[in-house]
Each structure stands twice: as structure tokens, then as C-alpha cells.
Chain A
Amino acid sequence: MMTTQQDSLSAAEAAPGVDAATSGADSAEVRPTPSAGQWLLSLQRRFPLVQVLLTVAVFAWGAATMPGFLEPTSIRSVLVLCALAGLASIGQTLVVLIRGIDLSLAGFIVVGAVTVTRFSDVPGVPLPVMLAVAVACGATAGGLVGYMCHRFAIHPIIVTLAAGSIAVGVTAVLSGGGYGAGAPGWATRLSSPMSSTFGIPVPPVVVIWVLATAVVSVLLHRTLPGRRLLATGAGPVAADLAHISTRKVWVTVYAISAALAVLAGVVLAGFAGNVDNRLGNPYLFLSIAAVVLGGTAFGGPGSYTRTTVGVLLLTVVSTVLVGMGFQEADQQILNGVVILAAMAVYGRERRLRDQV
């Protein structure tokens, strides 16, 4: 179907308005019906289809080869693991979308965890107040990180690395070196695979995660602040010139990321039982891996839904590997390979042909 420009222009004159412009597509552009392959490719670009299929396949494999894999308890455990990684990855997703990265995540997770294990019974200070203070401190520190990165153009790797280290250190000093006896019962119940939520036989942390996914997705893609965040990542200078305060975006996003990490730490303390200063480390890795694997690029495009898919894939794969008797070292190797593969698809710099 070759349309000459003459034809398309006369068509445009015949039907003014939006429709006209649609039919008067650019002179050299012809849109034949896309083939199935092209359709799938464009779908993959908008949605992590391959990752979803891979997750389903690995899951099916686990179900077929491992007895008890489909037991409700087993499924609930997997969901709890997903929820924990997922909650820890919300902030990372937002930060990556504005072209940043957050290595302080692990530190702020420890802050949250120690708050419940060590400071849950400080006389005269009720726990909710204590938690609010911890979250506020985290948000303030995170906001400062975002400000420093933006104001002084320092790479966030450096600033967040320092901030995470300081956070762990300050927590250790305040707690006098001890990490407390363990998490209180309510915190444990949040993530125990056995517990249920208002009668639904699903652990609360999973419900929280599902709700958080919905809220974050709506905030990110359907509201003005979310649009500003995405614009800041897509084109920092253009966003600035469109009167978006990109500094405010950086400060806010890093503050949110740190605050959410503190909250994730609270849940993790309940899950892990005993806490030390390395509690957050695996989740830092997981959060970055999940974001990248889901197909969110630095500066976008991307979404938290994609990260969710990344989390599901990583968790299902590692569960199946553990079930098959692989050691942690094997898993680490596989995780690394998986990240490289994902980077090969999504993370590359623009090629020469797009630049000239």
C-alpha cells in the first residue's frame, strides 16, 4: 500500500481535524499491517512478556518436578518472599526512573529493622511514635541525598553509598551495638506464611504489596507528580524548561525511597527474626536486579509493574533452584547471568545510528 503524498494530503483536506492528521501520515512513512513478529516485539517493548512467560515456565517446571510445590503453604512462602523483595524494590524503581540509583537501601532497611527489634519497648515512647520518627529520619536523610546529587551534580552511587554506610553506623551507635532480642509478635505475623489478613488466607505482607503495587502504579502513571517524575527521567533539561522543578523531584524521590526502605526494614525484621547490619544487603541486590530484569531503563521507560514481574521471576527461579538442591553460590552465578541478559536487552546505550 503505497500512498503518495498527494493522496494523503487530499485525504487530509477532506476530513479536517484529528482524523485528517492521522490519515496524512508522514510522507515517507507507510504503515503496512504489522506482522505477528513485529506485533510481539512492540508488545515486548511495552510489557515484559518474555519475563512473564519465563516465570510461568519455571513455575510449571517446579510444579511438575517437585512434590509439594503447589501446596498452599509453599505458594504462600513464595508470595511472602516476593512481597518482601517487591516492597524493597519500590524505591529503587522510582530512583532508576529519574536516572539515579539507590545503594543506601540496605542501610535504611537496617534502620527500620533495628527500630522494631531494639527500640520497640523504650519507656515513655510508644512504638508508632518511634516508627514515625525512624521514617521521618529516613525521609530527611534521603531528601538530603537527592538534594546533594542534584545540586552538586554528584553521581548518586557515591552519595547513596555514603548515606547507607552512615545510616548503618548511626543505628549501631544509637543501639549501643546490640540488635535487640528479636521482632515483636505483630511484626512476625505480618510476614508469616501461616498468618491471614482479615480472614483471607494470605499473609498481610502480600496484601500490602498488592495494594502498594496498585497505588504506586496509579501515582506514577496517572497523576501529575508521577508525570513530573517520569519527565525528569526522560529529559532532565527538557523537564526543567517545562517548569518542572527537577530538584524537587530528586529530593522527593530519594526521600520516598529511604522512607520506604525503613518500612521494608520493619517487615523484614519480623520475617528474619534476628537482625544484624547485613540484613539489607541481599535486598539491595534484589531490588536492582528486579528493576533491570523487569525492563525499566535508567531514565525510563519503565514502571513498577515491570519490577513486579522482575521480582516474581527472580523469586520463582531461586525457589526452584533451592528446591532442586542448588547451593547459594550457584544461585548467585545464575542471578548475575540473568542480570547481564536483561541488560543486553534493555540497558544499552544508544547506538551510533541513533545519535547521528
Chain B
Amino acid sequence: MATHPLTAEPDTVLAVDGLRKHFGPTVALRNAGLRLLPGEVHALVGENGSGKSTLVKILSGVHRPDVGSMEVGGRPFAPRMPAQALRAGIDTVFQEVLGVENRTVLDNLWLGADGLLRPVSRDAGRRAKAEKILTALLVTPPPLDIPFGALQLSDRQTCCITRSLLRDPKVLILDEATSALDYDTRTRLFSLLKERAAQGMSIVLITHRMDEIREIADRVTVLRSGETVATLDADWDHDEMIRLMTGGAHLVQDTVRVAADAADTAERPVVQRVRGSRLRPGGAPCDAVFRQGEIVGLAGLEGHGQDEFLRLLLGHGDTEGVVRIDGDREHRVTDPRRARDLGIAYVPRDRRGESILPWFSILDNFAIATAGQDVRRGLLSGRSAEKRFGHYVERLNIKYGRTSDAITTLSGGNQQKVVIARWLASQPKVLLLNDPTRGIDVGAKRDLYRLLRELSRLGLTVVMLSSEVDEHVELMDRVLVFREGSLAAELAHEELSRERLVDAFFGGAAVTA
């Protein structure tokens, strides 16, 4: 679409043109370009598989492009390894938390700063600098001497960002690095980033969250199918952005939600109930019911008990008061296996570590939890699995080459759809999802929302933990808000808004459950 002439403005920090990169038969980048000005926050957006990550990996020296030119400060730039990109002043924080778990937080913050044999600067100076940034980012910064591995996910990612900030690069790239941060830290990070940008640092922000882009980005570059299609100024229009990202194909009405009638919902039978269970020792007991065909959100700041609650529904922890109700029969959910037998399915959070079997094919990944159904005369029948998978391909809009391809050939969103199909195939009555849309693109999210809606209409109860406020507002019939290890509030769909929800996160007035 848009072509990029090779006439970079004189003060461009980073100029990238005509980048092309393929991996085997897959073309990841076709014609990618980017112009980065000094002191700007530049968002890079696009659906999964549009080439954002590849572009970032090229800029950070992980991959090398097939064709294309890159210039930093007017000089040719062709990093052959991450250290060279760092030396040129380009520093990247990846979505995956990269740290050495059994070294201290301080060591991790200064990782890579030392020479091979001796440290370059003194410990005391390092502490002070590290503390300054950490206190700016976190309300309760972790002690610098505990092992990195002891930190929570959000804090670990904060440390990775801090590490890059300490190096004070010319260009800071955050590749979905904010997705693991809790709301509060993200807000603090953004104000710090604005400050740094004002001092001249250029920041490239990759995120799937429109609100983040709206909040902080000066300009936005949109990638689609490996090609840079446009660079927009801060006053971009939401629909226009979606159209650019999707090429128009996904331009459907913004909300897929067909609000379930509240009165109607209240009369539906209860399928699962929690009574008097504690999420943590000494925490307040929780009570909650889940009715047939409703979509219930679990929300809260990171680490405030929503994870434990979801695990409770699955049969981990204090399951004394957790029951699955089937008509007038109640069954206690004692452990995860029992939960499965009672029709409770769980889609885990960490797709790569907990969901997918990396070298298994797409089909085998789908079938693994229900493979018992494919046994014919003692042998597994591929045709039977194929047939079952076929039911979900269309409904979930799963895009793939062949079912025999490895699951890792799919984009994150499509992998997640296969995982969800895996659990739907077990025909659950209650579907538990742990932040299923984390790091997947807008189009795939839409597909997923539509699917969950449809399933709930067919009587499936969906309980979904989400770290995205918009997701709760858009999708949920009801949201349970957790705070400091217990159930703090319950918001019905009519009272849901971004403001109400965030307010409840921080203990604001809300209807107490």
C-alpha cells in the first residue's frame, strides 16, 4: 500500500525500509518499514502473524533480514547478534520474561553490564540507580537481594523493563512487554516513559491494547501481512485503525455482545457453587454461584486472588465448599480429575508452557484430552480425530495449513483456538479460561468472544479470568472483583464500565458480594 521513499528526514533516529524475511516457506515480512523520530513514543500494531515480532527481532539482532535497509542515526545498521544492537543503542524488552532465576534481583537488573572478568561499575552506585527506577515503577519494590525467581510474573517483567531503562538506550522497544504488568505498574511505567521520551529517548511500543496506544503513542505504524500499510498521527480513528489492521475483512460491529437478559439469567439453574472457601490461609471466605449459560469474569489487580479462585473452581486448594450441581444432585469438586469428570474444563494461561505440546501436530494437540473417543479396535483413528476437529474449525475460525503441521506453525491466536477446541471437545458444562486472549490479536479476540457468546447461549457456563478491563466490559454478564486475596465485589453487566471496574480494583464503592 504505502511506499517508503529512501529519503529519511535528517533527524530520524531509526530508518527501516523494504525489509523482507522468510522462514522456510513462510513469508514473515514482505515490505516492512518504520521511521522513528527522537523523543517519540511510536506504537507498532497489527494482528498476530502480521510481522511485528519479526520486525522487532530483526531490529534487536535476533534475526537478520533477507533484504532491506536499516539505518541508525544516518549510519547503516545490520546487527548480527543482540549485543551489537545494544551497542548501537537499541534495547528490546520481549514479552517472554528473560532473567536468571537463581541470581539476585540486582544482578538481573545489571545483567550484561559487566565485562567478562570484572564489573564495570561499583555495587553502591548500581543499587541507587536500580532503586530509583524500581520505586518509580512499583508501589512496593522488591528487595534487591532476593532471587529473581522468587518474584511474581508482573514484578519480573518490571525488572526486565528496568534493566533496559538502566542502560538508557537511544531506542527502547517494548514487545508486548506490558501485557504481564498489573494496571497500576503499567500506569506508572507510562508516565516514566513519557518522561524519558521528553528527554529524547525514542520508544517503540508493541501492544494489542488500543487504550494503551491512545494513552501514550505519538504515532502509530500499522503492519498487515508483513507489510507496513500506514503510519498514523495521534489523532487516529478507531474504526480506521481496525480497517487498516484487518484489511477491512474483520470490520464487524464493535460489540458482539448480545446482553443476556438479567432477569432471565437469575432464574437459570446453578451449575457450580462456592461456599465459605478461603483463597489463602487467613483470607475471608468466598461465596459465589455460577448459573447455566452465563459468562462470568474474574477481575482484579495481578495477584489479588483471582488466580486462586479459578484454581478453586478446578479443584485445587480449599475445595470443601466447592460443588458442581447437576439438577438436584450436588457433587463435590475434590480435585482436577474429579472436576473433569464433572464436566469442568480448564484453558490454562501460559499457552506455551501449559497448553500446547510443541512438536505435536495441530490435530494431535486438539485430540489429546479426548483421544479416548478416537480408539477403534484398540488403535487411534486419525480420521475420527479429524472428524471431531472439523466441528470446531469453522466455529472457531481456525486458520491452518494442514492438520498434520506442527502446532507451532500457527500464530498465537490460532494456537489458542486449537487449545479451546481441545477442551470444547470434552463437552464441558463449565468452561474455565485463564486470560485466554493475552497476546492474541483483535481479530482472533473477536472470534473468541463470538464463540463464547454462542456457547453460553447453548447452555455452557463460562468463567473467564481476564487482565483486560475492556474485555470484562464488553463480554461479561457479571464480573467478580478480587482484592487482597478475597472476593471483594460483584458487578452486574448494567453497572459495568471501565471506571467502575478499575475503581473496584482499588477498593472503591461497589456492590459487595
Taking Cβ atoms with an 8 Å cutoff, the residues of A that contact B are 2, 4-6, 9, 16-18, 20-22, 24-32, 34, 38, 218, 222-224, 227, 230-231, 234-235, 237-239, 241-244, 300-301, 352-353, 355-356
Contact = CB atoms under 8 A, between A and B. Distances in A.
Contacts of B57: 353, 356
A66 to B, nearest CB: 41
Interface in B227-275: 246-249
A238 B336 contact: no
Contacts of B393: 17-18, 20-21
B368 interface: yes
A70 B349 CA distance: 59
Interface in B30-83: 30, 47, 49-51, 57, 62-63, 82
B154 interface: no
B372 interface: yes
Given A227-B371, A235-B358, A356 B98 contact: yes
A300 B346 contact: no
A28 B355 contact: no
B2 to A, nearest CB: 15
A238 B399 contact: no
Contacts of A355: 96, 98
Given A29-B49, A223-B378, A5 B357 contact: no
B62 A356 contact: yes
Given A18-B390, A223-B378, A238-B355, 18 more contacts: A2-B30, A17-B390, A18-B393, A20-B393, A22-B402, A26-B49, A26-B410, A26-B414, A27-B50, A27-B225, A29-B49, A34-B25, A224-B380, A227-B368, A237-B353, A238-B348, A242-B369, A353-B63
Given A28-B225, A227-B364, A356 B96 contact: yes
Nearest to B351: A238
21 contacts: A4-B225, A5-B225, A5-B246, A18-B386, A18-B390, A21-B397, A21-B399, A22-B400, A24-B399, A27-B47, A28-B28, A28-B49, A34-B24, A224-B380, A234-B358, A237-B354, A241-B355, A243-B337, A355-B96, A356-B94, A356-B98
B372 A224 contact: yes
Q: Which 9 A-B pairs have the closest CB atoms?
A: A234-B357, A356-B94, A242-B369, A235-B357, A28-B226, A301-B359, A222-B379, A28-B49, A28-B225
B82 to A, nearest CB: 7
Interface centre among A22, A34, A356 (most CB of B within 10 A): A356
A2 B399 CA distance: 17
Given A243-B369, A356-B94, A9 B249 contact: yes
B300 to A, nearest CB: 23
Nearest to A222: B379
A99 B380 CA distance: 23
Interface residues of B, number: 62
Nearest to B357: A234
Contacts of A353: 57, 62-63
Interface centre among B26, B375, B410 (most CB of A within 10 A): B26
B248 A6 contact: yes
Given A5-B224, A353-B62, A300 B359 contact: yes
B463 to A, nearest CB: 16
A242 B390 contact: no
B340 interface: yes
A291 B486 CA distance: 51
A27 B62 contact: no
Given A26-B49, A31-B25, A352 B358 contact: no
B398 interface: yes
A174 B98 CA distance: 53
A32 B380 contact: no
Contacts of A234: 357-360
Contacts of A30: 25-27
B422 interface: yes
B249 A6 contact: yes
Nearest to A25: B401
A134 B357 CA distance: 37
Given A17-B394, A34-B25, A241-B355, A231 B368 contact: yes
B497 interface: no
Contacts of B50: 27-28
A237 B358 CA distance: 12
A25 B337 CA distance: 36
A218 B336 CA distance: 31
A240 B360 CA distance: 15
Nearest to B25: A31
Contact of A242 (B353, B368, B411): B368
B394 A21 contact: yes
B336 A243 contact: yes
B213 interface: no
B452 interface: no
Contacts of B394: 16-17, 20-21
Nearest to B339: A243
B174 to A, nearest CB: 13
Interface string B364-400: 1000110110010011100000100010011001111
A239 B414 CA distance: 20
B116 to A, nearest CB: 19
B431 interface: no
Contacts of A22: 400-402
A242 B26 contact: no
B489 interface: no
Contacts of B465: none
Given A27-B224, A239-B357, A21 B27 contact: no
A352 B386 CA distance: 34
Contacts of A239: 357, 368
Contacts of A235: 353-358
Contacts of B348: 238, 241
B162 to A, nearest CB: 18
B25 A38 contact: yes
B299 to A, nearest CB: 23
Contacts of B390: 17-18
A65 B390 CA distance: 57
